[in-house]
Amino acid sequence: MSALHYARPESLADAIAILEQYGPGARVLNGGTDLMVRFQKMQVTPEAIVDIKRVRDMSDAIVWDGDSVTIGARVVMTRLIRDERIRRRYPALVDAASTVGSIQIRNRATLAGNICNASPAADTVPPLLVHGATVQLVGSSGSRETPLDGFFLAPGKTARAPDELLVSITIPPHRSPYGAAFGRLTRRHGVDLASINMACAIDAERAVTFAFGAVGPTPITVKDTSGALADHTVSDAQRDAALQALIARTSPISDVRASAAYRSAMLLVIGRRVLAQAQQRRADFDARE
């Protein structure tokens, strides 16, 4: 066994050079709330740990450009949750970030880390997906931007190359009226991982997008093409049929958290509630304008 290399680079270039040197043997330490737990349990055995907390050009800022927002890789959940403009514009994301771990964990855990950890049950991912977020990556061969939808390849695996760092997340502007909501099911009321989670967004054109978590190897994004979901006047049966058509795209499994049958059934139950809240928020948005 070789000794573990711990690096705390101060520039992005240095960080990327170390990542390039160690390749898949390197692990990025940001908040550490996932990595350190697994490291101590020897579930990951990295050759190098690259601590990016001191990297100057990794931002811990939330930057608005008109109605578009870019969230730096160092932004922790607590900061995100407390940001007044984020709270106004993206309540679904705030609701999701507020369920990540406990207060202590949210003081350390970053939005970028929640994405890169690539848990199928990551709570902040479904709202980011329905908001059409993109991520910016910097690597040895330059920088690139890619939609979050498609970024997840498998549990724990993303399209981030071993020598790349996710430096920020951008949510594009949305024309009003717009409404989104987040929902999840857990085994207990206190701190818990989601048995299922989801977000729903209804945009100005009445297009409805859902993203589901913990019901497949990666979070998935599905768009309603029936038109039935944005419409208050459709019957419950029509609404459920449209939701079921979306849910049919998921592939829940049975594990210690829930059975596949329970997950499937809860997708519909929570789906209705999340849809209703998104509709309400959109209507409230309408009323404000």
Partner 1 sequence: MSNADAHSGITHSGIIGRPINRVGGPERVDGTYRYVGDIKIPNVLHTRLVHLDCGRARIHSVDTSAALQMPGVRAILSGKELPASVKRFGPANRDRPILAIDETTFHGEPVAIVAADTVWAAAQGAAAVVVDYQELPGIYTVEDALAPGAALVQDPALRPNSAYKETNILNEWKFGWGAVDSAEADLVVENDYTFPMMTQFAIEPFTYAVEPTSDGITVYSAIQHPNYLQRVIAEFLDMPLSRVRVIAPDPGGAFGGKQHAKFEPLLAYLALRIGRPLRLELTLEESFQAARRTSAQAHIRTGFQRNGTLVFQDVEINYLIGAYEDIAGRLVAKGSYAGGGGPYRIPNVRILARGVFSNTVPSTAMRGFGLPQMNWPVECQIDEAARELGIDPVELRMKNLPEYGEVFMPQDPPADGRWAETLRKGADAIGWGKPLPPGRGRGISMGLKLGPTTGASYAIVRLHGDGSATVLAGTSDMGQGARTVYTQIAAHELGLSPQRIMVVMGDTQGVPFDLQTSASRSAVFMGNAVLRACRDVARQVQELAAEHYKADAVIVEPGTVEVGGQRKTFDQVMTDRFSKVKGEVIGSGSARAEYDETHPLNGRPAFYEVTCTAVEIEVDKETGVMVFHKLVTVADVGRALNSQHVAMQDDGGAIQGLGHTVMEQYFMDDRGRVRNLGALDYRIPTTMDTPRELISLHVENGDGPGPYGAKGAAEGGILAVSPAVAAAVCAATGAMIRELPLTPQRIWEALHT
Q: Which of 191, 204, 241, 248 binds partner 1 (CB under 8 A)?
A: 191
Q: Which of 245, 262, 276, 283 binds partner 1 (CB under 8 A)?
A: 262
In the complex, minimum distance from the CB of residue 187 to partner 1, in angstroms, rounded to a whole number? 5
Q: How far is CA 286 from CA 12, 178, 235, in A?
A: 43, 8, 23
Site for partner 1 in 193-232 (CB under 8 A): 193
Which residues fall within 8 angstroms of residue 288, CB to CB, at 6 or more apart? Answer: none
Give the number of residues in contact with partner 1, rule: CB under 8 A.
21
Helix-helix angle 260-288:236-247, to 10 degrees: 120
Q: Is residue 237 a contact point for partner 1 (CB under 8 A)?
A: no
In the complex, minimum distance from the CB of residue 93 to partner 1, in angstroms, rounded to a whole number? 22
Q: How far apart are CA 152 and CA 165, in angstroms?
A: 15
Q: Is residue 259 a contact point for partner 1 (CB under 8 A)?
A: yes
In the complex, minimum distance from the CB of residue 1 to partner 1, in angstroms, rounded to a whole number? 7
Q: Which of 65, 205, 232, 256 binds partner 1 (CB under 8 A)?
A: 256
Q: How far apart are CA 272 and CA 236, in angstroms?
A: 9
Instruction: Give the three-state DSSP class for 147.
Output: strand
Q: Is 58 or 194 the residue whose CB approaches partner 1 more closely?
A: 194
Site for partner 1 in 39-68 (CB under 8 A): 41-42
| Choices 160-168, 186-194, 214-222, 281-289 (CB under 8 A): range interacting with partner 1 | 186-194
Query: Nearest 5 degrees, angle CA 149-CA 135-CA 121?
Result: 50
Q: Is residue 265 a contact point for partner 1 (CB under 8 A)?
A: yes
Q: Is 110:70 a contact under the CB 8 Å cutoff?
A: no
Q: How far is CA 161 from CA 25, 143, 157, 183, 223, in A?
A: 12, 11, 10, 31, 28
Where on the chain is the footprint of partner 1 (CB under 8 A)?
Answer: 1, 41-42, 185, 187-193, 256-259, 261-262, 265-266, 269-270
